Amino acid sequence: MSSAILVLIILAVFGILICIGFLYLTRSRTGGLSSSLSSGFGGTIGSYGEIRQQLLRETPENVPLEPIAVTSANVVLLVEAYEGEVNNGGLDQFFFNSSGEYALETIQALEHIKANKAASILREACERFPDGRPPKDILERRSILVSTISPNSVGFEDLDTRFYDYEDDLGQLLEDYRKENPL
């Protein structure tokens, strides 16, 4: 399976998880989910923190990962995934979801498109993990996030704020990159 296809599959799964998480967040604010909707999660879930804990409990262990090459196509996919994740739920969400598996490759991708400030923000976020590197294994990464770095989903707020200042226009930089590097 090519790495581009793998990234697309990962992004599709991520999108589904975001939709499920959003549904549960929205419903939890209005009194919880009906038992028929919540049965897959074992009952009513009342907060984002509880959703994170449930996802952590349900995360499979030792899922083998294929390395991803930082090709022109993957640069675009990695940057778009990063921007989408952070705009949707901050760096906490980026690392909690499968996109966090490719954090170091995403830094390279950001540097390829000359988004040096965005790359610096992601590099600083990575340095908050043990040994300055987020684990590739999603269970290990989620465990570290929930227990140490961002137990209340606010561990990256300072970096999120810097990202939202949008000093690197990622859309324009990607457009320029695509012109110089046809896919």
Segment 78-111, tens digit of pLDDT: 999 999 999 999 999 999 999 999 999 999 999 9
- 3-class state of residue 132 by DSSP: helix
pLDDT over 90 for what percent of the chain? 57
C-alpha to C-alpha distance for 108 and 102, rounded to whole angstroms: 10
Contact of 157 with 90, CB cutoff 8 Å: yes
pTM equals 0.68
What pLDDT sits at residue 71? 86
What pLDDT sits at residue 51? 58
Residue 154 confidence class, pLDDT cut points 50, 70, 90: very high
C-alpha to C-alpha distance for 153 and 11, rounded to whole angstroms: 21
Q: Which residues of 117-154 are buried (b: 16+ CB within 10 A; e: fewer)?
A: ebbbbbbebbebbeeeebbbbbbbbbebbbeebbeebe
- Contacts with 36 (C-beta within 8 Å, 6 or more apart), sequence order: none
pLDDT: which is higher, 37 or 92: 92
What single-letter DSSP state applies at residue 60? P
**At CA 75, angle to CA 70 and CA 77, rounded to 5?**
120
pLDDT: which is higher, 4 or 34: 4
For the beta carbon of residue 85, count every other beta carbon within 10 angstroms.
Answer: 24
Give the phi and the psi of residue 80 in degrees, each rounded to 5: -65, -40
Distances (CA, A) of 35 to 23, 25, 27, 41, 43: 14, 15, 12, 10, 6
